[in-house]
Structure 1
Amino acid sequence: MADLLEGVGRELDHVSGTLLGNTEPLAEEALRASLLATGRSAAQISRVRLCLMTVERMLVFHIPNIEKRSEAGKLRATITATQLDIHALHVHAEFLEGRITLTVDATMGMINLRQNVTVKILSVVAALFLPPTLIASTYGMNFRLMPELEWSFGYPLAVGLMVASSVATFLIFRWKKWL
């Protein structure tokens, strides 16, 4: 069981190194692999903890029977050592579970950062097209008295307003460092 926990620790070292050791953003497949490896590690720790509890309960069950035997002193020392080992393995498993939580949190944080960039781009694109859409909607209305419709520069003015509003929105976003 100790070897299994050490294997989980090595796997978490690898995953953490991949996640936190890169200066470049990780690809979607690397993030997915990180979550899968972390999930497998968590499942392995759960199985080890179940085995530890089973062995511990077995020892507790057999302690009264051991006391009746002639070699009870030697067996008591062995059982005490085994219980101490089980306790140490429980502590190690708890430590690894904390590392799993950290790894999952880091992976989810990376995924959230990627999603934030995507949502930011979509929001900027939507905001860039909002003023031209408003202008086009206004000139698309069927009012009888819109002087610009009869004016020879009405169409170029509307298109110019749409382009100018998009450029102005873009420049404001750059000035605010949102792009």
Structure 2
Amino acid sequence: MINAYSANGSTRTLLPAEALPQLPDDVTWIDLVNPTPQEDAYVEGLVGIQVPTRVDLRDIEPSSRLYIEKDAVFMTASLVWRADGKDPQLTDVAFILSGNRLITVRYAEPKSFQLFIAALGRAPDEMRNGVTLLGRLLETIADRTAEILENTVDRVDKLSSDIFRDHGRRRAPRFLEAKLADIADHHRLISKVRDSLGSLSRLLTFLMNVPLIKGDKSDASLCRTVAHDVNTLSEHAAFIAGNIAFLLDASLGLINVEQNAIIKIFSIASVVFLPPTLVASIYGMNFHLMPELDWHFGYPLAIVAMILSAIIPFFVFRWKGWL
């Protein structure tokens, strides 16, 4: 699908079947969403540059993601999407500055694009040229990333409370093991966010050195502000990743403590019942020369000896603080 946005705030969907001879001069943003090869060729014919394909966007070489060709600036960044679900993903998005227009190519629908498109009608000044559009779009992406990090912090805090604040109840290892899956989900999301912020930081560093940006003080200032926000978010993401790592280590430690407590119970039980077993074994040997076998009170005394041999170690363990 090809969406064209004009400086006056109007929007239209371009169809290859229309075969427009040229784009209207007031079109400042062309947004290609899951474009087909026919749509790619159609836009290439309108703007006179080659549009990156899905395979081109997957190239991780910096020289293939950030470059200038025929006075057009080509940039590719990895953005997080599906961040609110259980399966966050990274999607590569191409940003192209060609003349006075911004061209974006994407094969997913990150929420930042939806927010930016929804806000265009409230800020028509942002549509004056492609450079300003790109700066505002990157600003929206940074704001959306900040929102993802804030939501993750809230969920991690709640998870930490569930793990550590047991209100006097012992947490079963099975409960803690279930929480490990939640910790892994948060870690995966933060890893995606950090990868995205890294690609955005490289893009903004490259963008601020483009002559088209350096020649406009307003756009250059906006790019510097967004770059500062991205660097701050990267530090915040690293801090959250550290907290998640601590939560993982603490959960594994609690699981070991709970498992050791269970093993300790079995160990103490075996030690408590070992002396009675020894007494019973001795008097179960049935030798003819054992004098205790002829005692009138031999059997009750053996029972009492077994009971005392079980009770005494129990209280010794209590006194030592081993229970």
TM-score, normalised relative to structure 1? 0.81
For the 8 Å contact 1:132–1:161, the answer to whether it is kept is: yes
Q: Which has the higher contact order (CA 8 A, sep 6+)?
A: 1
One of 315, 318, 321 as aligned partner of 1:171 = 315
Cα distance in structure 2, aligned partners of 1:30 and 1:149? 54
In the TM superposition, what are the counterparts of 1:127-138 in structure 2 within 5 Å?
127-138=271-282
Counterpart amino acid of 1:124?
I
1:92 aligns to what? 236
Point out the structure with the larger helix share: 1
For the 8 Å contact 2:201–2:231, the answer to whether it is kept is: no
For the 8 Å contact 2:177–2:255, the answer to whether it is kept is: no
Task: For structure 1, list consecutive stretches of 5 or more residues without a partner in the other structure.
Answer: none
Note the C-alpha offset of 1:45: 0.3
One of 200, 213, 220 as aligned partner of 1:55 = 200
Task: For structure 2, list consecutive stretches of 5 or more residues without a partner in the other structure.
Answer: 1-144
Moved over 6 A (4+): none
Cα distance in structure 2, aligned partners of 1:132 and 1:70? 89
One of 177, 180, 184 as aligned partner of 1:35 = 180
One of 184, 190, 201 as aligned partner of 1:45 = 190
Point out the structure with the larger strand share: 2
Stretch of structure 1 that moved more, 100-109 or 38-47? 100-109
Stretch of structure 1 that moved more, 130-139 or 47-56? 130-139
2:290 aligns to what? 146
Stretch of structure 1 that moved more, 107-116 or 8-17? 107-116
Calculate the aligned-residue CA RMSD, in Å: 2.7
Q: Report the count of equivalent residues.
A: 178
2:226 aligns to what? 82
TM-score, normalised relative to structure 2? 0.48
2:28 aligns to what? none
**Identity in percent:** 38
Counterpart amino acid of 2:250?
A
For the 8 Å contact 2:213–2:220, the answer to whether it is kept is: no
One of 231, 254, 258 as aligned partner of 1:110 = 254
Cα distance in structure 2, aligned partners of 1:170 and 1:15? 38
Which string of whole-angstrom CA distances, capped at 9 and with x for unpartnered residues, describes residues 85-110 of structure 1? 11101111011112213322333343
For the 8 Å contact 2:207–2:213, the answer to whether it is kept is: no
